[in-house]
A and B are shown apart, each in its own frame.
Chain A
């Protein structure tokens, strides 16, 4: 009886793992089949208005890069504060709040940015999209910086201080260097995550059918356009949406895997 129960338990557990793998395979195969069949080289040369995706891919990357340019330094410095400078309750509070913010609904962040950066300027603009993504990115970066710095042994810091270096020199030249790989991985994972976000962009940057690098106007976004295209009745729009989804997932997974590859090699 005990052994049979155990067997049943093992079977159920393995079955769960297979279900998980099955869903992953199902989604990836769907993406490959649908995506590759509608993928053309021309998609990378034309803009959406001519049935291509060039402006959307560039737009999405521009949004994510600018969000990273704002969010990565801010998040890193805030993470350094929590781990290196902060003492007691306040640092603890910020750490908790940042953890909570990491799980905050992304659509709410979109609504917040809509209220402060879209309504006052009279319409969707790229800056608002960048702001929304940056707000999503900051807590993720804080979290990784914080936990990666916690892995750096105390002796390294003490050695630096003993040599007469000031605290910020120790942090920037020794501690950050020691935690470099982990932080890089965290940044790549965070970048991969926000690059695939849709909800915060829906009513902040919206999307555009034309090529644009002007952040003061509504800005082309791959994810928002996928949402629009997938909801259109024509088969051609849906095919385009699948091709775009394939490209998006491919980009996101490559960045994600690169990040994890770096840490694995280090170990």
Chain B
């Protein structure tokens, strides 16, 4: 019985390893056709689902450049963006009729850039506010108020991400669009809603890091006549710096993979944003929006994007864990 239980528990623990390897292998195998087809150029190619004459891409890279230029031009015509895209599509279909040999090109640049930019915006917004909340909870507020505010912030963290998306689209985005101009669905609004979403997580882990500072250190500083600001800046922050940075990177890793809050707001358009108020797309949103109708190479390209996202967030999270948070423990 003892042996059996030990075996079962060992097997369950190993399941984690198997699952992670399984996720990686499955994504890789499913992405294999796209990886074979596009290789690493996938990362720098901004075309998605575009018909390109076969001969052109193989023999003449100049032609590629022309196609891309065409593309950027249609992007510039901001207002007519959609219409221009439709025209492009119609043109592409014509091309297909005239030249039988075409192939569809998928490139990941736009979703990758969109993911990184929206995460950076989220971080730029959430970081100062989260630090402020953490300081408030750890150092400033009386215990009762800290418990109440802390509980409320945790409640914010418990709200499902789809709610953030809907609230963001119908209530938050119009205000932001009013203030900054541009579209309601844009990189900016998506990034800000993402920022609101990671705010509680970031504040909570930062507070926990700050709370590891021994009271003796703080009390000595106060006894020397230091103000709260000086205690936070010169005692708490240096002491818990490593933990705080680790928590921030952890929050960044989470923001990268967030789907639903961003899906409502980023616009899901495959074009590189020229202004912060332009709509674009991120990796999770590309997967959420296109997975349903994708097949063949398109589906494989989405798996390729998923693989990139998985590796990216895996790398960032393990970096935070091993480089920063591990040092806190020991």
A residues in contact (CB < 8 Å) with B: 2-3, 5-6, 9-10, 12-17, 19-21, 23-24, 26-27, 30-31, 74-75, 77-78, 80-82, 84-86, 91, 93-94, 96-101, 103-112, 114-116, 135, 138-139, 142, 166-168, 171-172, 189, 192-193, 196-199, 202-203, 223, 226-227, 230-231, 238, 241-242, 245, 248-249, 252-253, 256-257, 260
Indicate whether B54 reaches chain A with its CB closer than 8 angstroms: no
Q: Which of A17, A94, A100, A167 is within 8 Å of B149, CB to CB?
A: A17
Bound Cα distance from A15 to B260, whole angstroms: 28
| Interface SS majority for chain A | helix
| Interface contact A20-B133, CB-CB below 8 Å | yes
CA gap between A227 and B321 in the complex, in Å: 33
Closest-CB distance, A242 to chain B (whole angstroms)? 8
Indicate whether A78 sits within 8 Å of B291 (C-beta atoms), given known contacts A166-B1, A249-B163. Answer: no
- Bits for B120-132, please: 1 = Cβ < 8 Å to A, else 0: 0000000011111
**Which DSSP category, helix, strand, loop or mixed, fits chain B's interface?**
helix
How many Å from the CB of A232 to the closest CB on chain B? 12
Chain B residues with CB under 8 A of A19: 129, 132-133
How many residues of chain B have a CB within 8 Å of chain A?
Answer: 87
Complex: chain B residue closest to A23, CB-CB: B196
Q: Which among B70-78, B98-106, B303-311 touches the partner chain?
A: B303-311
A108 to B149, CA, bound (A): 33
- Tell me the minimal C-beta distance from A267 to chain B in angstroms: 12
Q: Does B244 contact A (CB under 8 A)?
A: no
16 contacts between A and B (CB under 8 A): A17-B136, A17-B137, A20-B203, A75-B12, A98-B16, A104-B314, A112-B27, A168-B1, A168-B5, A196-B162, A199-B260, A202-B259, A203-B292, A226-B166, A230-B169, A245-B166
A172 to B2 Cα, complex, angstroms? 11
Most buried by B among A112, A142, A189: A112
With a cutoff of 8 Å between Cβ atoms, the chain A residues found around residue B253 in the complex are 103
Q: Which residues of the other chain, A, contact B162 by a CB distance below 8 angstroms?
A: 196, 198, 223, 226-227, 245, 248
Question: Inside 8 A of A100's CB, which chain B residues have their CB?
Answer: 20, 314, 317-318, 321
Q: Which of B196-215 contact A (CB under 8 A)?
A: 196, 199-200, 203
* A256 CB, min distance to chain B CBs, angstroms: 4
Partner of B321, one of A99, A203, A223: A99
A245 and B163 contacting across the interface, CB-CB below 8 Å: yes
The answer, yes or no, to whether B189 is at the interface (CB within 8 Å) is no
Q: Which residues of A contact B27 (CB under 8 A)?
A: 108, 111-112, 115
For residue B128, give the distance in angstroms from its CB to the closest CB of chain A: 7
Contacts of A15 in B (CB 8 A): 132
Residues of A within 8 A of B263 (CB): 227
Q: Find the B residue at minimum CB distance from A5.
A: B229
